[in-house]
Structure formats: C-alpha cells, structure tokens
Amino acid sequence: MSLYPPSTTTPAMRDPGTVPRRSPESLRAWVLSDGKAGTENQCLGLAEAVGIPFVAKRLAVRAPWRLLPAGLAARVTAPPFGHTLATASDRLDPPWPDLVIASGRQSVPYAVALRRASGGQTFVVQVQDPRLDPALFDLVVPPHHDRLAGPNVVPTLGALTRITPARLAEAAREFAPALAHLPRPLFAVLIGGSNRSYRLTAAAMAVLIGGLDMLTASGAGLAVTASRRTGAANVAVLRAALARKSAVIWGGSAPNPYFGYLALADAIVVTADSVSMTSEACTTGKPVYVAPLPGGAAKFRAFHAALADAGCTRPFTWSIQPFTPTRLDETARVAAIVRARLGLD
C-alpha cells in the first residue's frame, strides 16, 4: 500500500531547476522556534537529516509584536530585529544563513523577513502550516491533515522526528542492561495525557491498564514511559497496577530512556493524544498500536486514519494481532527535497 494518498504531490515530483552543486560544509543553517519541544524537535530532526552545520535559535518576542496576527507581523518585521526580541531571545544578526528551518507561530514573521533581507539567498523551510501564503517561503511542510496545497508544499503523514538508525542503536547499547530481565516480546508503552482534544481520565487509564495486563499475562514485558501530561494520580495508579508485573516504569530521573525503549522494543503502544510520539514510534518501523482516549478532533482522526490506512499502525485492543508495518520516514523524505534544492545531491 502506498504511504501517501493519491492526491499528495511534492516538489520532488517537479523540476526544481538547475542548482549549482555545493559542499555541505560550506553552508550554514539556523533553526528557529520558540523552544517548545514539539516544534523545535521537528526542525532539529530535519536540520540533522539535511546534514549541514546549524545553530538552534530560540525566539522570545516582545509585546506588541508577539500579539500581532501573522500576516501583519510578516509585513512589518524587518532587520535589525533587536527591538522586537526580548532579552531572553537568541539574536538574529547577519551574516544571514543559507538555510532557515522554522516552526511555530512566533517564527513565521522572522522566517519571512530573513528570506526578504537576504534577497532570496536564504532558503526558508517553514514546518507546519504558517497560516500565510506558502509562496512567502521556499518550502512549507505541514501535516497532511491540514490539507494545505501549493507548488512548494510538502505534506507529511506524521511529524518530522529525530529518530535515526544510528541514534536508536546508540540508545539500545546504553539501556539494554536495564531491560535485560524483561521477557520478550517487549512492548514500549508511551503514555501522554490530557490536552485540548483528549482527556486521560481515571476510566481511560483503567482501560489502558487492562490492556497492558493482558500483554503481561500473555508473557510480554513492558517498558513504560509517561509524560508530564499524564498526571501524578494516573502515574500512581499505573505503578500500583504494574508493581508485580514484568514491567519497568521510568521514574522521570535522568537519563531519559525514551529512545532506548523505542530501540529495544519489539512493538510499541502509544496513546492517541500525541502526534509526535505516534510519529516517532512509526519511524522505528516496528508495529505500533494506538490506544484510544476519550475526546479527539477532526485533525487527530484524520492523522490516525491516514497512518492506519498506510499500514503504520493498528488500534490497541485487548486481543492485538502481530502485523508487518510500513515504516514512516518523513524526515528523510523532506531532507532529500531540501538537499536537492540546495544543490547538495
């Protein structure tokens, strides 16, 4: 089955024009974000995959500029930027980079301004829907369920990630001893929590725990990690329920075993509330089972339906069946397009 819906096109399918070949070491990149993990990690993953030296710059925008609608902010933002950025912000000073990878609402006007200030010499990639005309950027990388289209738009089924075979192999070596006592198959269990679309209620937690009990009763081991959104009460219930089971629950102390659990697992269970966790799980190429939560929204439903249709995921039920998944590799796909546009391939 094709990983992408029939209507999906990307700039890789069009003639990008003749671009002089360049050495990655001769170029420089900036990653622009507000520092939120969900947005910054997508940009960092893409920058790492493109493979040119980069600097991550976190933006803290002063009022009233941070309150302006994106369209107005994009029209009035121009260098020098010091008067618009708070003291806590990283500076945006020339020389301008060859590549900007940006994400998040606060980054949008600065990405547009940098492209304009460089005379088009800075190649600007905006990750996620900027809520502006895509023509203001060189490349826009929104989730497919946003249904944004244009000649320079690259829709993705999942979020961009920092998952790579090398990173997983390194994490596997680091955390293998901590999980060596658990039986196989080993399930990594990624638990999110309540957000604007979903609620991790006590009842939902009980259902999830019931499914995990079925896994351990069948002889499986569990490597469980919860997020800050899971909530202390839910974590306490989880610990009590799995106390005498073949399970390890990360307690939140360093180092974070998240990549290690993904690397060492035979299969992955992830709650439905997180696009990033689901995407990271699917990027491993392992069977991924999505645990439902109360609530949801049209975009979440479209996201999960697309991954299921592509063969990346199946629902987490109390009678799960093994399957051979389709591996999601959106970061590498988008990076190849960027590299071609920069003349690196």
Residues 52 and 192 in one domain: no
6: pLDDT strictly greater than 70: no
Please check whether residue 325 lies inside any domain of the structure: no
Q: What number is the average pLDDT over the span 24-47?
A: 94
What is the pLDDT, as a whole number, of residue 16? Answer: 46
The CATH number assigned to the domain holding 47 equals: 3.40.50
**Which letter does DSSP use for residue 83 in this model?**
T
137: pLDDT strictly greater than 60: yes
Q: Mapping DSSP to helix (H, G, I), strand (E, B) and coil, where does residue 21 land?
A: coil
Query: Which tens digit of pLDDT belongs to each residue from 63-76?
Result: 999 999 999 999 99
Output 127-136 pairs: Cβ under 8 A, ≥24 positions apart: 127/39, 127/42, 127/43, 127/46, 127/101, 127/102, 127/103, 127/160, 128/39, 128/42, 128/103, 128/104, 130/70, 131/70, 131/71, 131/105, 132/70, 132/71, 132/74, 132/108, 136/74, 136/112
- Number of Cβ within 10 Å of residue 324's Cβ equals 7
How sure is the predictor about 345, in pLDDT bands with cuts at 50, 70 and 90? confident
What is the pLDDT, as a whole number, of residue 311? Answer: 97
Give the containing element (helix H, strand E) for 282.
helix 275-283
Residues 194 and 290 in one domain: yes
How sure is the predictor about 330, in pLDDT bands with cuts at 50, 70 and 90? very high
Please check whether residue 20 lies inside any domain of the structure: yes
What is the pLDDT, as a whole number, of residue 84? Answer: 96
Residues 307 and 202 in one domain: yes
**Rounded to the nearest 5°, which phi and psi values hold at 207?**
-65, -45
- Chain-centroid distance of CA 234 in Å reads 25
User: 22 vs 52, 103, 332, CA distance in Å?
Assistant: 11, 26, 19
Residues 84 and 189 in one domain: no
Residue burial 29-57, b: 16+ Cβ < 10 Å; e: rest: bbbbbbbeeebbbbbbbbbbbbebebebb
195: pLDDT strictly greater than 70: yes
What is the pLDDT, as a whole number, of residue 135? Answer: 96
Please check whether residue 4 lies inside any domain of the structure: no
Tally of domains within the chain: 2
Task: List the domain range (segments joined by +) for residue 310.
Answer: 165-315
What is the pLDDT, as a whole number, of residue 11? Answer: 44
What is the pLDDT, as a whole number, of residue 19? Answer: 62
Query: Which tens digit of pLDDT belongs to each residue from 149-175?
Result: 999 999 999 999 999 999 999 999 999
Please check whether residue 6 lies inside any domain of the structure: no
What is the pLDDT, as a whole number, of residue 18? Answer: 54
Q: What number is the average pLDDT over the span 26-45?
A: 95
Beta partners for 124? 100
223: pLDDT strictly greater than 80: yes
- Number of Cβ within 10 Å of residue 326's Cβ equals 18
Beta partners for 212? none
Residues 121 and 249 in one domain: no
Please check whether residue 85 lies inside any domain of the structure: yes
The token pair that represents 199 in the structure block: 């609620």
Residues 113 and 137 in one domain: yes
What is the pLDDT, as a whole number, of residue 252? Answer: 84
For residues 268 and 328, is the Cβ–Cβ distance under 8 A? no
Residues 142 and 178 in one domain: no
The CATH number assigned to the domain holding 250 equals: 3.40.50.2000
CA–CA distance, 214 with 245 (Å, rounded to integer): 11
Please check whether residue 125 lies inside any domain of the structure: yes
What is the pLDDT, as a whole number, of residue 3? Answer: 56
The token pair that represents 316 in the structure block: 């987490």
Could you give the dihedral angle defined by the CA atoms of residues 36, 41, 42 and 47, in that order, rounded to the nearest 10 degrees? 130
Please check whether residue 323 lies inside any domain of the structure: no
What is the pLDDT, as a whole number, of residue 1? Answer: 44
Q: What number is the average pLDDT over the span 80-100?
A: 96
Query: Which tens digit of pLDDT belongs to each residue from 106-127?
Result: 999 999 999 999 999 999 999 9
Residues 53 and 111 in one domain: yes
What is the pLDDT, as a whole number, of residue 326? Answer: 97
Residues 52 and 150 in one domain: yes
308: pLDDT strictly greater than 90: yes
Residues 147 and 240 in one domain: no
Residues 103 and 141 in one domain: yes
Please check whether residue 320 lies inside any domain of the structure: no
Residues 25 and 118 in one domain: yes
Q: What number is the average pLDDT over the span 18-35?
A: 86
